[in-house]
Amino acid sequence: MLGIGITQLRRSTPEVSYKELMFEAAIKAYEDARVDPRKDVESFVCSSEDFWEGTSIFDEYVPDQIGGALKPVCTISADGMYGLATAYMQILTGLFDVVAVEAHSKASDIKNLDSIYDLSLDPIYTRPLGLNASFIAGLEMNKFLHSRAAPISSLRRVVAKNRGNALLNSLAMNGAKLDPYELSHSEPISYPLSSHDIAPVADGAAVAVLASEEAARNFRDDPVWIAGVGWSSDSPTLETREWSEATYAKLAARQAYKMARIQNPMQDIQVAEIDDTYSYKELQHAEAIGLAGHSKAHELLEHGDFDRDGTLPVNPSGGSLGMGNTLEMNGLVRVIELALQLRGEAGAHQIHGVQTGVAQSWRGLPTTSGAVIVLSNK
Amino acid sequence: MRSMNIKKRVAVVGAGMTKFMRRAQETGKELAFEAVRQALDSAKLRIEDIDSVSMGSAPDAFDGVHMKGEYLLDGAGGWRKPYSRAFVGGGTGVFSPIHGWFHVASGLFDTCLVVAEEKMSSCLPHPQTAFLTIFDNMLERPLGPNLIWIFALEMQRYMHVHKIPKEHIAQVAVKNKRNALDHPSAQIARKVTLQDVLSSEVMAWPVQRLDISPVSDGACAVILASEDVARKITDSPVWIDGVGWNLDTTYWTNRDLYFPRYVANAARMAYSMAGIHNPRREIDFAEPYDPFDYKELHHMEGLLLCRKGEAPKLTVEGVTERDGKLPICPSGGLLGVGNPIAAAGMMKICELFWQLRGEAGKRQVPGDVRTAVAQAWGDLMQIGTVVVMRS
């Protein structure tokens, strides 16, 4: 990974368009990678979904502001980490040496987020039931707590940890010093889910530049290496999925760890940036990708292991709860935060002495799809 | 691009296709399932043999389903597999196999199932209304443009620059609808005369009703495998030897539309990878994207199969007939077989597979066909996607 560029994440960005956000992230990434987008970057991969954008065939609107016009450019309708996986495959084929990956969110332009979530449900079987995203998340959260016999206070602790971490991250928009005990008095939206458990949506853009090993060495001495990539999906229907487990993350991690030759993730990984768009998801995902034994994540968390100064810091950036939920950009935010840690450039939230880290993303409700990437600075 | 040192050679080992029709009773998931079932059966494989899945489908607005790729996942065979959806508008049908090619050529997976599905009929009153949402929110949408309107501009420009009479272009519709009579999945195969096309209803001059492909539902699937695995599956794999894609600027109003330079760039990329120096001589037949009759001609020129402005002449001379010197759209194309957007592009990949295996039945191009090219086109007259295949 030659270069990374990211804008600040903010609740709204009325003074710029999505094109200007993308431009800012692209310029930063190309400067960081020391590449000329028109000369050195051979292919561009964007990640977006039409309904988030309010435009059909959003691929039409991506090339100019990232330097991709009249070049191989494509869109992957998924999270940015899937875009990154596509760029990674493109390089491995031998077709290209340098590929840029982009993802962004202009969530503040979306008038009614809930109605878009509703449109992702099966139009025949489940949409007529009038479920909404918070209702589904509440069900899943309840199932998670019940199946682990975990106290709800552990989820308040996830919120307090991540929003506290975000106070030290200049890109984050939702940092706060919170007392988990105070949070436990908040009213549920859909029992046991309360508004504190939901990462608020944010605007922003991110770009990463990938290169083959040979080309990377021409551009810089200290790139961060992609050691493994994986992605997977479980059942898309609410009726037939495994509600208590994040099987998609487990399968994605298996693929990524195999590639990275990681046999014991709890030992081999020093830092993790994982999906926490709902508080319980951090613990569910931590277990799924092997950072905790089954039913053990809440115990490790309560013990302080996932804190910034713990044995395995999880979301030292603040995660989505602390930084903001940037929709299809979330995966790329996690990867960029991990890359900053491995470069020793994470500033006030730097974890010292990290060599290998894992980033994980989930496409959000109602999907069961997600990706895992292992990065290393060795 | 570095000189072609591709990690793994990739073959197509199976293909499947549903009937293309105006209004399918099946859901999108079921259409995808049927195409996948056929593709698996044709390669004598089971879904357990598939390592990864690439999905192709055009705008979510047709179905009104957000994250349509996730919705189609189980029907397309993606359950508990690495599954993802690539989307480049109308170019998707030929880009999805390229996306599938990444999976296998990278060495990450031995096999990839590529599925393309489209169900346009659920968009009411007409899928054309979904296309109103592809335009720039601020600059263009207030003008209420639609696809026929902008393609009429492009067609007019093409005719004007090369002084092409409408009769020459209409010949493409006559040929493709006739070719489709031999396609068992075709939606609007029929014998039409030049006069029928020229006297059909004017939609937006110079575009008339019979110049346009129909609205369709349908699905296609192909199975890709790495060389060593492919040889175990079949004695006659068809190789994907060249891939190319290229996206032009968003600002289509600032471009000269008479020539699709992005298609030419994509074609050059694919030809260079396949080691093709003289496409005119080395390509045995082609399946360029033909949602409108003039687009077949436009794309023959973009694919460098003839000089600029020469395609209409070759058509009138019969060169592009199925038994001509350079058969173009022997399948019947979108004009005859139908146009379920992403599935229509993939239909061309299926056609290359069947033709190059000598399995195209009544549609079989006579003689020894070894090398062929398929192409699709999409976004705002903006992207070209090209695949070169060899027997």
Domains of chain A in start order, with CATH, are: 3-110+202-219 (3.40.47.10), 113-198+222-376 (3.40.47.10)
How many CA atoms are closer than 13 Å to the CA of A36, on its beta-carbon side? 3
Residue A171, pLDDT > 60, answer yes
Mean pLDDT confidence for A5-17: 98
Q: A253 contacts in B (CB within 8 Å)?
A: none
Q: Which of A71, A96, A123 sits opposite B247 (nearest CB)?
A: A71
Q: Which two tokens stand for residue A6?
A: 């990211």
> How many structural domains are present in chain B?
1
Q: Which of B66, B82, B86 sits opposite A51 (nearest CB)?
A: B66
pLDDT averaged over every residue in chain B: 97
Q: Give the minimum alpha-carbon distance from A156 to chain B in angstroms, rounded to a whole number.
A: 30
Place of tokens 């492919």: B230
Tell whether B33 is covered by a domain.
yes
Nearest chain A residue to B377 by CA distance is A60
Mutation choice for A interface testing from B29, B67, B71, B123 by most A CBs within 10 A: B67
Q: Which two tokens stand for residue B158?
A: 């093409």
What whole-number distance in Å separates Cα of residue B23 and Cα of residue B4?
Answer: 44
Give me the pLDDT at residue B4, please. Answer: 66
pLDDT averaged over every residue in chain A: 97
Tell whether B271 is covered by a domain.
yes
Which is nearest to B237 in space by CA: B359, B8, B391, B373?
B391
Nearest chain B residue to A241 by CA distance is B79
Q: In 3-state terms, chain B is what percent helix, strand and coil (to 5)?
A: 40, 20, 40
| A to B CB pairs, distance under 8 Å | 195
Per DSSP, the three-state class of B75 is coil
Write the DSSP string, A6-46.
Answer: EPPPBS--TTS-HHHHHHHHHHHHHHHHT--TTTT--EEEE
Which residues numbered 361-390 in B keep a CB inside 8 Å of some CB on A? 378-380, 382-383
What whole-number distance in Å separates Cα of residue A90 and Cα of residue A79?
Answer: 17
Tell whether B332 is covered by a domain.
yes
Residue B1, pLDDT > 50, answer no
Mean pLDDT confidence for A205-234: 95
Q: Which of B66, B79, B273 sits opposite A120 (nearest CB)?
A: B66
CB-based contacts of A157, cutoff 8 Å, min separation 6: A180, A301, A302
Read off the pLDDT band of B185 (50, 70, 90).
Answer: very high
Q: Give the minimum alpha-carbon distance from B73 to chain A in angstroms, rounded to a whole number.
A: 7
Residue B211, pLDDT > 90, answer yes
Give me the pLDDT at residue B236, please. Answer: 97
| Tens digit of each residue's pLDDT (9 = 90 or more) over A105-123 | 999 999 999 999 999 999 9
Is B61–A56 a contact, with Cβ atoms under 8 angstroms apart?
yes
Task: Name which residue leads in pLDDT, A186 or A335.
Answer: A335
Q: Give the minimum alpha-carbon distance from A178 to chain B in angstroms, rounded to a whole number.
A: 35
Mean pLDDT confidence for B269-284: 97
- The count of other CB atoms within 10 Å of the CB of residue A127 is 15
Tell whether B100 is covered by a domain.
yes
Q: What is the CATH number of the domain that holds B19?
A: 3.40.47.10
Residue B153, pLDDT > 50, answer yes
**Largest Cα–Cα separation, chain B:** 56
Q: B262 contacts in A (CB within 8 Å)?
A: 70
Burial of B144 (0-12, 13-18, 19+ CB in 10 A): exposed
Mean pLDDT confidence for B307-318: 98
Q: B5 contacts in A (CB within 8 Å)?
A: 94
Give me the pLDDT at residue B5, please. Answer: 85
Residue B166, pLDDT > 70, answer yes
- Using alpha carbons only, what angle is made at residue A99 by residues A95 and A105, rounded to the nearest 5 degrees? 140
Residue B3, pLDDT > 80, answer no
| Tens digit of each residue's pLDDT (9 = 90 or more) over A225-256 | 999 999 999 999 999 999 999 999 999 999 99
- The count of other CB atoms within 10 Å of the CB of residue A186 is 13
What whole-number distance in Å separates Cα of residue A212 and Cα of residue A356?
Answer: 19
Read off the pLDDT band of B2 (50, 70, 90).
Answer: very low
Tell whether B318 is covered by a domain.
yes
Tell whether B178 is covered by a domain.
no
Tell whether B22 is covered by a domain.
yes
Tell me how far CA of residue B68 lies from CA of A26, A249, A366, B57, in angstroms: 28, 20, 12, 8
Read off the pLDDT band of B23 (50, 70, 90).
Answer: very high
Determine contact: B268 vs chain A, CB below 8 A. Answer: no
Determine contact: B86 vs chain A, CB below 8 A. Answer: yes
| Tens digit of each residue's pLDDT (9 = 90 or more) over A119-135 | 999 999 999 998 889 99
Q: Give the minimum alpha-carbon distance from B169 to chain A in angstroms, rounded to a whole number.
A: 28
Determine contact: B105 vs chain A, CB below 8 A. Answer: yes
Tell whether B301 is covered by a domain.
yes
Q: Which residue segment(s) compose the domain that B256 sits in?
A: 10-125+213-390
